[in-house]
């Protein structure tokens, strides 16, 4: 189940969310459970819950709603709190047990997804480095071969080609 499936399943909550709603696939079952529970509650008790925003922040799930009648406040926020606590120990990418990882972007991931993320970062860094190396070599050759217009032209072509290749790679890796 993806986030877009939630939008279809809970149009009463997710049509026109004021400040946007999105998160990784791993947390979708948590939201499915939460919104299912909230929907039963609001139907049974005859009030309306408005979702204002759903997002990931500092590795945690944030589920913001509009005003709730005082008598239902505690029940509603107990459900939301449970879901947010569960997200802290659930990989946002795949839904397996996870933990919050520090770094430039704090995320909650399982070991496998964390390794994959670090690997992708490493590959991207490596590609940047090798592109810099290759460009340095070409630049050196171009400086040396200025006297030979044919060779010089080929080097410019080669440079363009390499740029294209790396752009494709960085798109796949990103």
- Binding site residues, Zn ion, CB under 5 A: 91, 93-94, 96, 110, 113
Nearer to Zn ion, 22 or 74 (CB): 22
CB of residue 1 to Zn ion, shortest distance in Å:
15
Nearer to Zn ion, 54 or 91 (CB): 91
- DSSP per-residue codes, 24-55: -GGGHHHHHHHHHHHHHHHHHHT----EEEEE
CB of residue 80 to Zn ion, shortest distance in Å:
23
CB of residue 96 to Zn ion, shortest distance in Å:
5
Rg (CA), the chain: 25
What are the angstrom distances between the C-alpha of 97 and each of 35, 80, 84, 102?
A: 21, 19, 14, 17
Helix (H, G, I), strand (E, B) or coil at 61: strand
Nearer to Zn ion, 41 or 94 (CB): 94
> Can you tell me the distance from the alpha carbon of 82 to that of 86, in angstroms, rounded to the nearest whole number?
6
CB of residue 170 to Zn ion, shortest distance in Å:
23
Nearer to Zn ion, 6 or 114 (CB): 114
CB of residue 55 to Zn ion, shortest distance in Å:
19
> Can you tell me the distance from the alpha carbon of 88 to that of 13, in angstroms, rounded to the nearest whole number?
23
Number of H helices, E strands in the chain: 6, 4
Nearest to 3 by CA among 66, 58, 51, 44: 51
Nearer to Zn ion, 14 or 91 (CB): 91
């Amino acid at each position: 189940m993806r986030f877009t499936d939630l939008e279809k399943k809970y149009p009463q909550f997710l049509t026109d969310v004021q400040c946007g709603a999105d998160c990784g696939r791993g947390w979708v079952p948590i939201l499915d459970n939460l919104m299912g529970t909230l929907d039963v509650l609001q139907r049974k008790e005859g009030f309306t819950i408005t979702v204002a925003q759903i997002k990931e922040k500092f590795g945690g799930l944030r589920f913001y709603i509009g005003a709730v009648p005082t008598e239902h406040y505690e029940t509603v926020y107990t459900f939301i709190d449970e879901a947010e606590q569960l997200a802290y120990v659930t990989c946002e990418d795949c839904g397996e047990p996870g933990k919050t990882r520090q770094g430039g972007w704090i995320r909650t991931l399982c070991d496998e997804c964390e390794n994959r993320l670090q690997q992708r970062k490493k590959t991207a860094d490596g590609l940047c480095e090798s592109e810099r190396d290759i460009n340095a070599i070409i630049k050196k050759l171009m400086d040396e071969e200025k006297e030979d217009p044919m060779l010089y032209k080929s080097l410019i072509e080669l440079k363009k080609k390499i740029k294209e290749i790396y752009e494709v790679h960085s798109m796949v890796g990103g």
